[in-house]
Amino acid sequence: MINVIFEGRCYGYFYRCIYLFKMSKITRKYFFVIAMLLVLFSIYNYFIYSAESYTPSSALTSQAIEGQELWQENNCWSCHQLYGLGGYLGPDLTNVYSNIDKGPLFIKAFLNSGVSSMPKFNFSEGEKDAIIEYLRIVDETGYYPNFDASIERSGWVKIKYKDAK
């Protein structure tokens, strides 16, 4: 241990560190406020993330999982959006399956035909059916944009689902 003689007294390493980091009154105040905010933040996160209240509302079928994998492998997020998240070159496909003017046949036709801004894919019939199943499941989960949403006290957002009665 390193001892320091200061003002005729001998201080060990620990006391030396305390003396070097001696804080002014205003610094102690800010230090206390920041420490309290960190404690409150930790308590809040403990209660939010240890709660058993959240359960996913929709499970994907095996065919929909295959469709999701194709969606990700072909980087569809780059141009299209689901729930407003994704690229802006193509349209939002959240509710394309239930759209009166579109639907599954419309989706199937577009997947292999390609247009000016959409590449021409060579999907098999099974792959097209898997992507359509994935979009059907996404379509069933809700509306986009959803204006009937509210924030619960726990921090979760409660939205209106299509199958809610």
Sequence ranges of the domains in the chain: 4-49, 62-158
62-92: pLDDT as tens digits? 999 999 999 999 999 899 999 888 898 888 8
Looking at per-residue pLDDT, the higher value among 142 and 7 belongs to 142
pTM for this predicted structure? 0.59
And the tokens for 41?
Answer: 């933040």
pLDDT grade, residue 24 (50/70/90)?
Answer: confident
Fold for 62-158, please state it.
Cytochrome Bc1 Complex; Chain D, domain 2 (1.10.760)
What is the per-residue pLDDT for 129?
Answer: 94
3-state secondary structure of 11: strand
CA Rg, the chain, in Å?
28
Range of lowest pLDDT (13-27, 70-84, 115-129) = 13-27
Residue 143 is classified by DSSP as -
Interatomic CA distance for residues 71 and 121, integer angstroms: 12
